[in-house]
Amino acid sequence: EVQLVESGGGVVWPGGSLRLSCEVSGFGFDDYAMTWVRQAPGKGLEWVAGINWNAGSKYYADSVKGRFTISRDNALYLQMNSLRAEDTAFYYCARGPAIRSSLWYFDYWGRGTLVTVSS
C-alpha cells in the first residue's frame, strides 16, 4: 500500500524557518518525482514545488521562489525560510511522474501537515 506521511509542521514567527519532511512507503521512492502542494484553511489548492526522481530538476511557484527549497534523499523535504503569514496552510506531499514521464499530475497524497505563521 502506498503511503506518504508528512511531518514538521507547527507554529512559527514571521521571518522564521521550518523544515517539512515526507516519509513514503509502498513504492520505489527513487523511481518517482515528488511535489509539495499547499492549502490555506478553507481555500483551494496551490502547487508549491516539485523535484524529479534524481533531484536533477527542481521547480518552484513564484510565490515561494528564493525562500523555499525542495530536496530529497530517502525522504522528501521542504525547507521554508523567511516565512510570511500568507504561507499559513496545510502542506501536502504528493507523488509525481515516474522516471521517463513528464506528466506532472499527482496520484498519491499524504494527509498533510499544518504550518501556521503568526506572531
> Residue 85 carries which DSSP code?
G
Closest CA to 108 of 32, 30, 57, 7: 32
Binding range to another protein, per CB under 8 A, among 8-16, 24-32, 70-78, 104-112: 104-112
Whichever of 44 and 56 has its CB closer to another protein, that residue is: 44
106 touches another protein by CB under 8 A: yes
Largest Cα separation within the chain, whole Å, is 45
Mind giving me the DSSP string for 49-73? EEE-TTSS-EEE-TTTTTTEEEEES
CB of 50 to another protein, least distance (A): 7
CB of 105 to another protein, least distance (A): 4
- Whole-number Å distance between alpha carbons of 34 and 36: 7
Whichever of 13 and 105 has its CB closer to another protein, that residue is: 105
Site string for another protein, 41-60 (x = CB under 8 A): ---xxxx--x--------xx
Whichever of 15 and 31 has its CB closer to another protein, that residue is: 31
110 touches another protein by CB under 8 A: yes
Residue pair 36/89 in contact (Cβ under 8 Å)? The answer is no
